[in-house]
Structure 1
Amino acid sequence: MSDPLHPPEPAVPPDGGLGPSSWQRCRVDLAYDGTDFSGWAMQPGLRTVCGVLVDALSTVLRAPVAVTVAGRTDAGVHATGQVAHADLPADLDTAWLVRRLARLLPPDVRVRAVTAVPEAFDARFGALRRHYRYRVATAPHGADPLRARDTVSWPHPVDVDAVNAASVLLLGEHDFAAFCKRREGATTVRALQELRWTPDADGVVTAAVAADAFCHSMVRSLVGALLDVGRGRRAVDWPATLLLRGERASEVPVAPAHGLTLVAVDYPPDADLEARAERTRRVRVPGPS
């Protein structure tokens, strides 16, 4: 079933014009500094992670390549554990491809590994959960210069006990519409599996967030609401009360993009890949099943 809201990028035959027996599905593990990108998704006239990656792959392979990603990060958001899949020539030396891409890609994008996987592997629909980290520097001097691009300087103290107490109330499956920018026809029901704040010795507070999936701006909105709790502007139970709204809550601040990093994506065993992808499509894709 196709997804009208999230078509492949770019839409080309999955074998790039090769024969049905001459391509192999591959998992692509990559990392990027999102500072100078307009997000993941390809956009005309803008520098995007997908655009840069597809250009490099197409140049190396001398054929168009379609890439499907686990999570489409917004402008300014980083990744150390992003996952995508692409259908590549079956006789391709994947270790050679990684080395070739290291020379061709700009320094703010790295392909860490290309691995042959079963045809049923789907980076987006097959994922069990996505893991993010959000870094907030609470020290008076702000973020360390070497981490300033992935850490937000926050000019207020953060009550870690309060934000953790508020976070526990958000765990589980809920309609997170109050924390999302709604997309027509898409569900905002998500299963939030982890939301935990940890203070570091260097004055940085890190939020670990994991869910089966996230809707648009959900992580940054959760962080923004919880930071308001952490600085004493809102009560501990306030973020949880917003789950009853059923629509975007305008009073929820959206935390800056550059503090957010996608760090890992989990997948089931190979034998369960097809079933997982089909189950996710039924939930996530609007229209008849």
Structure 2
Amino acid sequence: MEHPNADEPATDTGGGLVRVRLEVSYDGTALHGWARQPGQRTVQGELELGLATVLRRDVDLTVAGRTDAGVHATGQVAHTDLRADLLAQHEGTLLRRLRGVLPADIAVTGVHVVSPDFDARFAALARHYVYRLTDAEFGPPPLRRADTAAWGRRLDAGRMRVAAALLLGQQDFAAYCRRREGATTIRTLLQLDVERHGDVIEVRASADAFCHSMVRSLVGALIAVGEGRREPGWPASLLSLTSRANDVPVAPAGGLTLVRVDYPDESQLAARALVTRAKRAPDPTTAS
């Protein structure tokens, strides 16, 4: 699950550089998350290597959401700054050439020159995730086995839906987050819907941002309700806690996919980044 990449500063766009937005998709099954790690295959590591191979220049990427090991993406967004003349040399061929050097589980699906105010992380309005799981006896459909988690007990999607609705709004989600020093756990949960389609249950989660492990922990709590082990009000009752709840299970990573990141109009990018950089504070009208 995504958590903000606080160690990546915004990039200076001076010196004849242009800001470039990349749309990225990946199957996270064999990847150790987004962030580069020595000796491990990661999305950032593979992408930066692929870009450097094609452009013959080192590239540093800033990402909308640092997904965890095993988590997938169909709508990830990153940005970097490149010399305008260098980008012009590869205009029209960059996607094809990246396809030739990137591993099969990572794809760059779009490259666009954007405003220098665009920041993949700080200018984002919302991140949207889908969690897929199946309670079918035979497990996930073979063609969806990478992005659909298997669950061994029948789940009541109606009970899960009731519990999900009680979690919406601006809250302190400390009970559902792995603590990071100096990072806030206050988030605005915009959507948490549960739908059953045959033997597959989809949980759709949208928020201004998600802290470390938040989506998978929310899904784990909803699963406990769906199994009948907890009452629908239990997940919301944990919002009064100021640290992670030990009894909240974390759903398997393979069911989670980042599907979209929303951004404001170009004229609002700089203002949005300023708001996001400011420390979040609870809204007394919605926090519990």
Q: Do the structures match in fold with TM over 0.5?
A: yes
Matched, 1:137 2:139: no
1:7 is displaced (CA, Å) by 2.1
The 2-side partners of 1:44 and 1:106 are apart by 18
Residue of structure 2 in register with 1:266 after alignment: 262
Please give the residue correspondences for 1:147-166 in structure 2 after superposition, counting only pairs within 5 Å.
147-166=144-163
What amino acid is the match of 2:115?
A: P
Matched, 1:224 2:210: no
Structure 1: gaps of 5 or more residues: 285-289
Q: Which has the higher contact order (CA 8 A, sep 6+)?
A: 2
Residue of structure 2 in register with 1:29 after alignment: 23
Q: 2:106 aligns with which of 106, 109, 116?
A: 109
Aligned-partner SS, 1:124: coil
1:59 is displaced (CA, Å) by 1.2
The 2-side partners of 1:94 and 1:77 are apart by 31
Aligned-partner SS, 1:146: helix
1:94 is displaced (CA, Å) by 4.0
What amino acid is the match of 2:200?
A: V
The 1-side partners of 2:164 and 2:245 are apart by 17
Residue of structure 2 in register with 1:278 after alignment: 274
Residue of structure 1 in register with 2:239 after alignment: 243
The 2-side partners of 1:261 and 1:4 are apart by 18
Residue of structure 2 in register with 1:287 after alignment: none
1:66 is displaced (CA, Å) by 1.0
1:95 is displaced (CA, Å) by 3.0
Residue of structure 2 in register with 1:193 after alignment: 190
Task: Check whether the contact 1:14–1:66 (CA below 8 A) recurs between aligned residues.
Answer: no
Q: How large is the Cα RMSD of the aligned pairs?
A: 1.6
Residue of structure 1 in register with 2:15 after alignment: 20
Task: Check whether the contact 1:178–1:243 (CA below 8 A) recurs between aligned residues.
Answer: yes
Task: Check whether the contact 2:5–2:66 (CA below 8 A) recurs between aligned residues.
Answer: no
Residue of structure 2 in register with 1:7 after alignment: 8
Residue of structure 2 in register with 1:69 after alignment: 63
The 2-side partners of 1:244 and 1:4 are apart by 26
Deviant stretches of 4+, over 3 Å: none
Task: Check whether the contact 2:191–2:205 (CA below 8 A) recurs between aligned residues.
Answer: yes
Task: Check whether the contact 2:28–2:69 (CA below 8 A) recurs between aligned residues.
Answer: yes
Aligned-partner SS, 2:137: coil
Matched, 1:208 2:212: no
TM-score w.r.t. structure 2 length? 0.92
What amino acid is the match of 1:226?
A: L
Please give the residue correspondences for 1:72-83 in structure 2 after superposition, counting only pairs within 5 Å.
72-83=66-77
Residue of structure 2 in register with 1:51 after alignment: 45
1:89 is displaced (CA, Å) by 2.6
- C-alpha distance after superposition, 1:92-139 (max 9, x if no partner): 244311111011111100000000100000000000000000001111
TM-score w.r.t. structure 1 length? 0.92
Aligned-partner SS, 1:283: coil
What amino acid is the match of 1:130?
A: R
Residue of structure 2 in register with 1:255 after alignment: 251
Q: 1:179 aligns with which of 168, 176, 179?
A: 176
The 1-side partners of 2:218 and 2:270 are apart by 31
1:67 is displaced (CA, Å) by 0.4
The 2-side partners of 1:64 and 1:138 are apart by 45
The 1-side partners of 2:278 and 2:234 are apart by 32
Residue of structure 2 in register with 1:89 after alignment: 83
Paired residues, number: 274
Between 1:88-97 and 1:207-216, the stretch displaced more is 88-97
1:14 is displaced (CA, Å) by 5.4
What amino acid is the match of 2:96?
A: R
The 1-side partners of 2:146 and 2:223 are apart by 19
Q: 2:230 aligns with which of 234, 240, 259?
A: 234
1:246 is displaced (CA, Å) by 1.0
Q: How has the CA–CA distance of structure 1 residues 140 and 280 changed in structure 2, closer, same or farther, with 3 Å as cutoff?
A: same
Percent identical pairs in the alignment equals: 55
The 1-side partners of 2:131 and 2:75 are apart by 14
The 2-side partners of 1:115 and 1:71 are apart by 19
Aligned-partner SS, 1:155: coil
The 2-side partners of 1:56 and 1:254 are apart by 33
